């Protein structure tokens, strides 16, 4: 099994709702996110995934992984000043943070489509601390295509 592992520095942001805005001149519709933090987070993920691929493989072309993928992530959120609880059990739903991250991985060219992710082996959110700055630690795993070819041969 192959894998790529990387850290993203930035404040994890959930995928939110979008507003449709029509350009009066061209008539084309654009979708603008309501959450202003989503796009910066996606750009951080995109940059980190691209850099990790280049650094770990030496290949300048993004792979657009198109087989079954396994996703693993720990998201480190900034603790609000007034929060005393140990775990981030309120704002920023984990599933929405994952959705914005998957969109960024698709946009980066690392994966062909987020529908290829068939398993989440681990996903959690924690408060950032002195050891872990706000951001994420992400691992994507995939099988070699040759492994599946061996299974099909009699």
Predicted local confidence at residue 31, as pLDDT: 80
Task: Check pLDDT > 60 for residue 149.
Answer: no
Cα–Cα dist 46/37, whole Å:
14
CB 102 within 8 A of CB 120: no
* Average pLDDT of the segment spanning 96-107: 96
Q: pLDDT confidence of 92, banded at 50, 70, 90?
A: confident
The C-alpha angle 113, 2, 58, rounded to 5 degrees, equals 85
* Average pLDDT of the segment spanning 132-154: 74
Predicted local confidence at residue 120, as pLDDT: 97
DSSP string, 19-68: EEEE-TTT--EEEEES-TTHHHHHHHHHHHHHHHHHHHH--SS---B-S-
- As a whole number, the mean pLDDT across the chain is 90
* Average pLDDT of the segment spanning 82-105: 92
Task: Check pLDDT > 60 for residue 152.
Answer: no
Predicted local confidence at residue 154, as pLDDT: 53
Structure-model confidence comparison of residues 130 and 150, the more confident one? 130
Task: Check pLDDT > 90 for residue 104.
Answer: yes
Predicted local confidence at residue 146, as pLDDT: 55
Task: Check pLDDT > 60 for residue 147.
Answer: no
Task: Check pLDDT > 70 for residue 151.
Answer: no
Q: pLDDT confidence of 20, banded at 50, 70, 90?
A: confident
pTM, full prediction: 0.84
The token pair at 133 is 């700055």
* Average pLDDT of the segment spanning 86-101: 91
């Amino acid at each position: 099994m192959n894998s790529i592992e990387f850290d993203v520095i930035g404040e994890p942001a959930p995928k939110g709702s979008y507003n449709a805005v029509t350009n009066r001149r061209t008539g084309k519709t654009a979708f603008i996110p309501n959450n202003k933090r989503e796009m910066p987070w996606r750009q951080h993920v995109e940059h980190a995934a691209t850099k990790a691929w280049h650094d770990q493989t030496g290949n300048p072309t993004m792979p657009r992984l198109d087989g079954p993928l396994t996703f693993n992530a720990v998201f480190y959120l900034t603790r609000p000043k007034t929060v005393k609880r140990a775990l981030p059990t309120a704002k920023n739903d984990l599933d929405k943070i994952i959705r914005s991250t998957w969109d960024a991985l698709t946009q980066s060219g690392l994966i062909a489509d987020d529908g290829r992710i068939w398993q989440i082996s681990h996903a959690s959110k924690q408060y950032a601390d002195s050891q872990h700055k706000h951001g994420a630690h992400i691992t994507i795993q995939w099988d070699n295509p040759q492994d599946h070819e061996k299974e099909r041969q009699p």
